[in-house]
Amino acid sequence: MKLGAAFALFDDLSAAVRVAFWPTLKDICHDPALIFHISRTFMAHVWSAFAAPTDENGRLVKQSLLLPNATGTVLDIGAGFGHTIQYLDCSKVTKYVALEPNTQMHSKIRHTAERAGFHESDGSLVILSCGAEDTLEILKVLGDPYPVDTITSVLTLCSIPSPKRVITSLVKDVLKPGGQVLFYEHVLSPRADVAWWQRFWTPLWSIFLDGCRLDCPTHLHIEEMKYTDDMGNEVSMWDGGKTWGKPNESEENLWWHQAGRFVKHVQ
């Protein structure tokens, strides 16, 4: 792996500090309690600056992944500012559920959703501030058993503690049989040299970017997911599915991407 690629992280990190340091400091001076959530506050300012170009960078992949596939009630894990909404076919999606613990992002989610025709007043928009691990709260708010037809995750599972356990719980308890998981994530590289640098930089990167990990094998967590059937056997969670990469992406990219679509087994 070329050293330029291995140290490319510092370009992104320095850009993040430039746009977010002073706004974060200003927020803490205004509300000192934010010092206990400094990484989340910092990330909110980073995302304000870089959400749009990050979204544009993955536009073609997300269009092909989300637009033809997302249906029914959509649970968007780590909704951010609600960029996923623009990739949904509103004639096929009846409810958009934004799961976003960072409440500083909720107003932008609401604005984006309402422009697309999703409204809290008619129940077609639900914004949840709980974490993705809180399946009981999600089920409590949404009501029905297996209330979700589609789970989407776009550049999110890298920041969730215990991502394998969390996504498995959501699929097992919240997603309908026959429902689908659609994801686009930066993941652990299959190249040993790139993976070494991803693991090396993750402790530093995660401090500034609200827990984001470069070395999370999200695609494998999902692809290899299993459940225990009535006979006590571990079997695949999926009736079918596939993963694919981002076109023309360098193998040396520290943020190596995978997209995927998996359909839950009808038990």
3-state SS string for 192-203? HHHHHHHHHHHH
CA gap 262, 170 in Å, rounded: 14
Calculate the average pLDDT of the chain.
Answer: 94
143 compared with 202, residue with greater pLDDT:
202
Q: Look at the pTM and tell me if it is higher than 0.85.
A: yes
The residue count of the chain comes to 267
pLDDT beyond 90 at 144: no
CATH C-level class of 58-264: alpha beta
CB 67 within 8 A of CB 261: no
With 0-12 CB in 10 A as exposed, 13-18 as middle and 19+ as buried, what is 266? exposed
pLDDT beyond 80 at 267: no
Q: What is the pLDDT of residue 156?
A: 95
pLDDT beyond 90 at 13: yes
Q: What are the pLDDT digits (tens) for 211-233? A: 999 999 999 999 999 998 888 88
Write out the two tokens for 266.
Answer: 């009808």
Helices (H), the chain: 3-6, 9-30, 38-57, 59-66, 106-116, 135-142, 163-173, 192-208, 218-223
CB 113 within 8 A of CB 85: yes
Say which range, 40-49, 90-99, 154-163, 254-263, has the weakest mean pLDDT: 40-49
CA gap 8, 12 in Å, rounded: 7
Mean pLDDT of 66-84: 96
pLDDT beyond 90 at 39: no
Q: 180, 174, 197, 175: which is closest to 251 by C-alpha? A: 197
For tokens 């979700």, name the residue.
148
Q: What are the pLDDT digits (tens) for 154-189? A: 999 999 999 999 999 999 999 999 999 999 999 999
Q: What is the pLDDT of residue 229?
A: 82
Q: 118, 248, 240, 259: which is closest to 187 by C-alpha? A: 259
CB 142 within 8 A of CB 230: no
Residue 100 φ/ψ, nearest 5 degrees: -145, 105
Q: What is the pLDDT of residue 266?
A: 85
